[in-house]
Amino acid sequence: MSDWIRVEQAGQEVWQVEAWRSYPWLFHGFSTAGTGNMLEKPSRSHFAQAFELPEPWITVRQVHGNEVLWVGEDWPQGASIEADGLATRIRGRVLATFYADCVPLFFVDPVTRTIAVSHAGWRGTSRKIGCQTIALMVRHGSRIGDIQAAIGPSIGPCCYAVSSELRDYFPAEVFEERSGQLYLNLWEANRTQLAAIGVCQIYTSGSCTMCGPGFFSYRRDRTTHRMAAVMAIKS
């Protein structure tokens, strides 16, 4: 059973962690193909209006690395900075990263009201971007035991066929061989990395963007459209 649910509001839909909906100060969600290409401003604006989020959003130029940036009061408006994750404790700042099969990682510390979101493809996962995100939150006052994580919709072990070269980057336990083809479980790779450093509460979607309905998938369609992982501390 998934820890995530699909929520509709004002004609827009989003996937959310059911347990996190109890935090009135938090917005979080993963958009669907039905909300449009979130790389385009009109789609983001419709989404923002539906869920009462301010604009513009804070984004980065994603490069499949493990750099995670802290968004403070002095964050330059309209900045185009290379990174694959964002974290903040400031109200009214909307953090967003973009996806079409890679793993969206969401983080919440309900004690300090700190949030973060990170983009984890196989490269970012192999370089432990989730752990890098946790480390950044800890440097800014969070305790690992207070941080909760969520692994959003992304390509699943059912569909993520990879070459044998990737065995050099991950433990054997996150691979499965079927009919002579090797498959990688990025959900489990990220989950085990986070659990190993002491993250106790990890919510997993279990929804595959390649074979599941309602998602953009680069692997399936070679699409340039993207979904968004969005987080904000409400004003």
Enter the tokens of residue 184: 């990688």
Q: Is the pTM of this model over 0.95?
A: yes
The domain 4-233 is classified under which CATH number: 3.20.20.140, 3.30.1490.20, 3.60.140.10, 3.40.50.2000? Answer: 3.60.140.10
Per-residue pLDDT of the chain (235 residues; tens, 9 = 90+): 689 999 999 999 999 999 999 999 999 999 999 999 999 999 999 999 999 999 999 999 999 999 999 999 988 877 779 999 999 999 999 999 999 999 999 999 999 999 999 999 999 999 999 999 999 999 999 999 999 999 999 999 999 999 999 999 999 999 999 999 999 999 999 999 999 999 999 999 999 999 988 999 999 999 999 999 999 999 8
The residue ranges of every structural domain in the chain are: 4-233
